[in-house]
Amino acid sequence: MIRPHRPPIRAAALDATALGRAGASVLGLAALLAATALPAQEANPSAEPDPAGEVTVSHGYTFFGNLTYPADFEHLAYVNPDAPKGGEIATWAQGTFDSFNNFTLLGNPAALATVGLETLMTGVADDPTDLYCLVCETIEYPASLDWVIFNLRPEARFADGSALTAHDVAFSHELFMEQGLASFRAAFGAQIAGVEVLDDHRIRFDFAPEAPVRDRVGLAGGIPILSKAWFEETGRRLDEMWTEPALGSGPYVLGSVDMGRRVVWQRDPDWWGADLPINRGRANFDRIRVEYFADAGVALEAFKAGEYTFRIENSSLQWATGYDFPALQQGWVVKAELPSGNLGSGQSFVFNLRRPTFQDPRVREAIGLMFNFEWSNATLFYDSYVRTTSFWDNSDLKAEGVPTEGERAILEPLVAEGLLDPSILTEEAVMPPVSSPEREIDRANLRRAAALLDEAGWEIGQDGLRRKDGQVLSVVFLESSPAFERVILPYVNNLRRLGVDARLDMVDPAQETRRRDEADFDMATQQFNQDWEPSTGLRQWFGTEGADESNRNLMGLKSEAVDRLIDVVVAADEEEEMKTAVRALDRVLRAERFWVPQWYKDTHWVAYYDMFRHPDPLPPFSLGHLDFWWFDADRAAELRAAGVLRR
């Protein structure tokens, strides 16, 4: 199963996914938008040059290549511009929630807590590298990208009708710099040298000389815009829990809430941006309802009973065996496998490197050898998945084989300084071990793992457990999803065969969130959702800056070599240079063996009551069910008349 229902990665970390990719927080509409910048006007012929040729004025921005959409585009190519508005789509989340603030590690934020916020720029689902004006109308920048000016749309309004101005943008920037996560401030804080409000609808960002060029426009254009007046009136802080969402300017506002059990987001009928070309055919549902359930099994039964209406399935067992029910048989429910061009999520078990036991790479490798993916896939997953092998699976950013000449040029100085083992230059990129699908434990891998632990000094005692200096080698898996129990227990059994005191610690989602945030675990599941143009956000995922805040760098990785490689990726200003650097980084990360790769798939499994419609074909980089799908009122009436729906 793919696991999206783990404790959420907070938007507070504000990396290239949540901040530099403008608008990614709004319904996940631009979840693949990269933090990009353009070094010179020649790289973007769709921009409109100043007569003097010194400043580019444009409706959008991309770093490599050209923008997909011209300034006069009428709507995005993948939407239905005439999609009807109305109806409700209802989905589910696991666990509970006690806050509406997704920008802090405190509490459990409600699903879609940032759905009402917008950014200056936003992204699109058919090109993950483009940025387009949303709250801004145009941007201005010199070839040097020392600064950028955003010209805001004068009609932009918050949900209470108050004007959204450049003062709110400046306030939001300062708030994130003052009260955002320390890892965000470390990664991004020094990049913006100054912010100047030129007038109510013009704001200028000046960048520090050392700020990565590719990050500049995306960073400034991706700050969620918060209402200065709302914060001043309520006295709220960004680093505390909220019992109500912040005032925003986006398409949805809070409709109703049953704290911890249900949240309903209501489409704002007066949303200022509804008729913008970038928004036509989007935000089509009147209501988005999210129901909370203790586990996926209970949630599936509720779906069958019509308690909610749209489900993304992430369990191969449920997908293969759980959908034989009357509503599906009678054609009231659609079960579909839809294509996805997204990067693999990098889903994996990760070690807590803060534990002394796991600082020895031989121990990590030995433990990794005991996870039999091939048996799990054949026996538990109905051969539904592909093994995770890279942090950039399903892309040409993945390291393969031995290093290329370009990768060697990047890696050799680190080897010369003793920061990397020389084998990184000659050996193929680390791949997960292959196991026999015929039996739960692979004996050859068991022998290899035993030899590694023997070499590391972990000796088998008379009780069958391995010890070193009187300490038992133990591994405790932290998990809250009952669906993962059947996956982890065979792994635990294999580890016990190796002499490891392994066990599964099943907790509720709130406990899991707290313990992950406090780094109180041995191994836990993490997803490393990366970008097509990786940049400064890598520092929060893998850099030393993010190691003490376990939200993204959950394993607590601190590696000077990795930090230096991230610097190379960030500094790259040519596309092939960037790709080569990412491959070198991927190679080194995989050699660190801080993860035990799990699995991914390149399709979406969805089931929904047959009253939703979508464009065909879908764009490659987004399912978009909360974005550009729409409601079929006539079909919904038929379902209700048949007594299929409970709500």
The answer as to whether 504 is a domain residue is: yes
The pLDDT, as a whole number, for residue 31 is 30
- 1 pLDDT tier (thresholds 50, 70, 90): low
The pLDDT, as a whole number, for residue 42 is 29
- 37 pLDDT tier (thresholds 50, 70, 90): very low
Whether pLDDT at 52 is above 50: no
Contacts of 199 (CB under 8 A, 6+ apart): 166
Our count of domains for the chain comes to: 3
Average pLDDT over the chain, rounded to an integer: 90
Burial class for 183, CB neighbours closer than 10 Å (0-12, 13-18, 19+) = buried
User: Do 404 and 476 fall within a single domain?
Assistant: yes
Eight-state DSSP code of residue 42: G
Q: Which tokens hold the place of 130? A: 């483009």
Whether pLDDT at 26 is above 90: no
Residue carrying the six token digits 């940032």:
114
CA-CA distance, 306 to 644, in Å (whole number)? Answer: 6
State the Cα torsion 345-430-426-361 to the nearest 10°: 120
* Single residue among 234, 259, 282 that ends a domain in this structure: 234
User: Do 222 and 321 fall within a single domain?
Assistant: no
Tell me the CATH number at 572: 3.10.105.10
CA-CA distance, 340 to 251, in Å (whole number)? Answer: 26
User: Do 394 and 495 fall within a single domain?
Assistant: yes
* Single residue among 218, 234, 250 that ends a domain in this structure: 234
Instruction: For residue 522, give its domain range.
Output: 348-600
* CB half-sphere exposure, 252, CA atoms < 13 A: 29
Bridge-based pairing state of the strands 474-479 and 523-526: parallel
Whether pLDDT at 318 is above 80: yes
User: Do 554 and 507 fall within a single domain?
Assistant: yes
User: Do 193 and 333 fall within a single domain?
Assistant: no
CA-CA distance, 537 to 187, in Å (whole number)? Answer: 7
- Residue 542 has φ and ψ, to the nearest 5°, of -130, -10
The answer as to whether 288 is a domain residue is: no
The answer as to whether 559 is a domain residue is: yes
- 551 pLDDT tier (thresholds 50, 70, 90): confident
CA dihedral sign, ordered 391, 393, 396, 401: positive
The answer as to whether 255 is a domain residue is: no
User: Do 156 and 46 fall within a single domain?
Assistant: yes
Give per-residue pLDDT as tens, 482-541: 889 999 999 999 999 999 999 999 999 889 989 999 999 999 999 999 999 999 889 999
Contacts of 366 (CB under 8 A, 6+ apart): 448, 449, 450, 452, 453, 456, 498
Give per-residue pLDDT as tens, 378-436: 999 999 999 999 999 999 999 999 999 999 999 999 999 999 999 999 999 999 999 99
User: Do 140 and 224 fall within a single domain?
Assistant: yes
The answer to whether residues 83 and 94 touch, using CB atoms and an 8 Å cutoff, is: no
User: Do 615 and 569 fall within a single domain?
Assistant: no
pTM exceeds 0.85: no
The answer as to whether 99 is a domain residue is: no
The pLDDT, as a whole number, for residue 53 is 56
User: Do 562 and 626 fall within a single domain?
Assistant: no
The answer as to whether 15 is a domain residue is: yes
The answer as to whether 43 is a domain residue is: yes
The answer to whether residues 570 and 214 touch, using CB atoms and an 8 Å cutoff, is: yes
Q: Which tokens hold the place of 221? A: 């254009």
* Single residue among 234, 254, 269 that ends a domain in this structure: 234
User: Do 376 and 429 fall within a single domain?
Assistant: yes
The answer to whether residues 436 and 374 touch, using CB atoms and an 8 Å cutoff, is: yes
The pLDDT, as a whole number, for residue 41 is 30
User: Do 431 and 531 fall within a single domain?
Assistant: yes
* CB half-sphere exposure, 202, CA atoms < 13 A: 7
Tell me the CATH number at 226: 3.40.190.10
User: Do 389 and 427 fall within a single domain?
Assistant: yes
The answer as to whether 632 is a domain residue is: yes
